Amino acid sequence: MKKVKNIGLIAHDGCKKDMTEWVAFNAKRLSVHNLVCTGTTGKLIEEVYKTKFPELKANITKLKSGPLGGDQQMGALIASDQLDILIFFTDPMTMQPHDVDIKALIRLSAIGNIVVACTRSSADFIISSPLFETEYEAIKDEHENYVKRNLR
């Protein structure tokens, strides 16, 4: 991981307020990184920067809305080692019609050994870590080695 991180931001509808509040609280620290968001979440985050922090130039890439393919786009970034951190505020109290996509993102994140937060508290711990602002080399297990170890 380079010093400038590629950070995925996703929030279910019931968690979008939490996400925008979290981004606003951490706007300065996040603005030096590359933010990749699913559609609606990205629009809300852009609005936070425009209205509350116009002096900060955040680099925000918006994908499609999660249920319309944005989750898969985020998964492709994870699978191709283009994402360092995934902040995904999930709503555990609401059934999600694209639940399999959500599970796939978490699974891909685990396979790629990328940093994941699914709650505001875990996101706070990540962004306040000294490692957040430095280069960091995550141990990546090659798929072939994983398969060999588990087929013995």
Tens digits of per-residue pLDDT, 12-38? 999 999 999 999 999 999 999 999 999
Q: In 10 A of CB 62, how many CB atoms?
A: 17
Is 91 part of the annotated catalytic residue set?
Answer: no
Residues 71-102, buried b or exposed e (16+ Cβ, 10 A)?
bbbbbebbeeeebbbbbbbbeeeeebebeebb
In terms of Cα–Cα distance, which of 2, 7, 24, 18 is closest to 126? 7
Confidence band for 151, pLDDT divided at 50, 70 and 90 = low
Predicted local confidence at residue 26, as pLDDT: 98
Whether the CB-CB separation of 71 and 38 falls below 8 Å is answered with yes
What residues does each domain of the chain span? Answer: 6-150
The torsion region of residue 22 among left (phi > 0), alpha (psi -120 to 50) and beta comes to alpha
Of the candidate ranges 9-18, 128-137, 138-147, the one whose mean pLDDT is the lowest: 138-147
Q: Which of 71, 81, 91, 124 is catalytic?
A: 71
Over 90: is that where the pLDDT of 147 sits?
Answer: no
Share of residues in the chain with pLDDT > 90 (%): 72
In terms of Cα–Cα distance, which of 136, 138, 134 is closest to 32? 134
Q: What tokens does 56 get?
A: 């900060």
pTM of the model: 0.89
Predicted local confidence at residue 11, as pLDDT: 95
Task: Determine the topology of domain 6-150 in CATH.
Answer: Rossmann fold (3.40.50)
Predicted confidence (pLDDT) per residue in 53-80, tens digit: 999 999 999 999 988 899 999 999 999 9
CA 60 to each of CA 20, 71, 121: distance values in angstroms, whole numbers, following the listed order: 14, 16, 23
Over 90: is that where the pLDDT of 152 sits?
Answer: no
Helices (H), the chain: 16-25, 27-30, 39-52, 70-79, 99-112, 120-128, 143-150
Over 90: is that where the pLDDT of 96 sits?
Answer: no
